[in-house]
Structure 1
């Protein structure tokens, strides 16, 4: 209960037109922004494009796309690609892509995504570029990074971040958790022979940490990650934790100093009310603030996965708080 006055003060100070207009959640976990239209989504990555529209790409389809002009009302916009690139079938018999990551640099939009199958780390992360970021405009450039059954990591769930003029990609899941590799800024692909850094894991098998997203703010890099079990509707136990580091490659620790390599991570968002298993998160900036995008399973709609959006505020000592 001690957190409630602090959160109320943050809400009042940060009130803007886009913030949720209701507050029915438990004090520690705010409800997501009320949305209309096409809300069904999984593992969203959200970005405001040069034309002012917001796009959300996601798992499913040939990288499913949603568009919005105001973050509140979303329409189905088809897929990033009209047909799956042929190489996807080497990693998934139905060419089903997972967990995309959208970013912008060097005059182009960059879309990273995973192609894999359940229960194996014979996986690949692909990369595509577009001049506009809109669905149907993407050119695929093949695998940016791969993993095999002999590796102790899994090449899924990409997350791109720039640091000190260099380009990095966090990735990983079960198979020892979150890893990181440096990318070539020109090709957008992993530098051959690059060291694979280790960012987060659990001390207990099956090391259920995945869905990384990294945000640079001030002197820190913040690592957001999804813990526990995804993709089971109302039985999902996903939750979002966060740690930070002064270096992009870590070590990342939580507010108590516990390393994320030892199961640490402050609990940022967990199940509450109808909003079950929030995870598959990413962050984006718009209207001068940082937002958290994720999926949750709607207990009032048979566990349907839907888009969650919350703005982030920050404590005096620099930790994120969803509003």
Structure 2
């Protein structure tokens, strides 16, 4: 499995963020699963045929299918062959961190390709009528970044808000950003402002893997902090903030902005479940769920799928 930028920087001294959530938190274990559980950066969705699909980093965007969220089988890859333009970003045409959504009668799959250790990166977009692996039509780049930019175009997360389409993205290189998309093409509007949502004061600004969900009066920004991809030595964790506007500013429960290093600690290592992150939020049967990967300390640090139901209490999310 391809390690992402965080693996290159894992040896860096990462200062701890200021405490913004209550201490001595007890984290719930993920839902017990069977079958093919190995996964990284999952995005989960219930398809029109009733099945659940999970797409993930690794190979040509790996796919898993389940009838019930508990029992998962390997379903191959989203694409049968890599689109040729992927090779402009790495020699193995290896995509990362997909994001799956449904709108206007089609499924939309966003994903990232990048040159190792740089922000020469691009986010691609594909569509499918069914959302099943092997049915995707690629439409090329939706957005890109170069070495002259102060952001990194990976880890897409798309959300509709106030009649507009937005994409959060970013990894290191000053953290989480956002750009507006053209809903017809699914691609960034030419010349659109690149907004800033979250970072931290300590280099190398280890914030990535954004996911945004709307609930009640607020938009909630979840993001992965610190180092992934190190098995049982991973320090990944998930933090969250909220805003009344999809474009921010996002603040934690103390009022500290995520642009100033804020963010309530939401999920961290506990027991055998090491380094949870690469998260996404999905809704099914009237319930919200958090999907993420963790490294199983009881299985040599193998990355596996974590699923927890997401509840809301006093305007903030909590896991069961």
TM-score normalized by structure 1? 0.91
Structure 1 residue 56 corresponds to structure 2 residue 54? yes
Distance 2:94 2:299 in 1: 25
Is the 8 Å Cα contact of residues 90 and 116 (structure 2) preserved in structure 1? no
Distance 1:234 1:262 in 2: 29
Structure 1 residue 218 corresponds to structure 2 residue 222? no
SS of 1:261's partner is: helix
Q: 2:11 aligns to what?
A: none
Q: Deviations over 1:38-67 (max 9, x none)?
A: 000000000000000000000011100000
Structure 1 residue 320 corresponds to structure 2 residue 317? yes
Given the superposition, is the C-alpha separation of residues 27 and 241 from structure 1 closer, same or farther in structure 2, using an over 3 Å criterion?
Answer: closer
| Equivalent in 86, 90, 103 of residue 101 of structure 2 | 103
Q: 1:305 aligns to what?
A: 303
* Unaligned stretches of 5+ residues in structure 2: 1-23
SS of 1:150's partner is: coil
| Equivalent in 246, 253, 257 of residue 255 of structure 1 | 253
Structure 1 residue 145 corresponds to structure 2 residue 149? no
* Unaligned stretches of 5+ residues in structure 1: 1-25
- Alpha-carbon RMSD across the aligned residues, in angstroms, is 0.8
Distance 1:257 1:218 in 2: 18
SS of 1:173's partner is: coil
Deviation (angstroms), 1:135: 0.3
Matches within 5 A, 1:140-289: 140-289=138-287
Q: 2:113 aligns to what?
A: 115
Deviation (angstroms), 1:27: 6.0
Deviation (angstroms), 1:118: 2.8
Q: Deviations over 1:98-139 (max 9, x none)?
A: 000000000000000000133100000000000000000000
SS of 1:95's partner is: coil
Q: 2:126 aligns to what?
A: 128
Distance 1:219 1:245 in 2: 8
Q: 1:89 aligns to what?
A: 87
Q: 1:28 aligns to what?
A: 26
Distance 2:274 2:114 in 1: 25
Higher normalized contact order (CA 8 Å, seq sep 6+, divided by chain length) = 2
SS of 2:29's partner is: coil
User: Structure 1 segments of 4 or more deviating over 6 A?
Assistant: none
**Number of residue equivalences:** 297
TM-score normalized by structure 2? 0.92
| Equivalent in 26, 40, 43 of residue 42 of structure 1 | 40
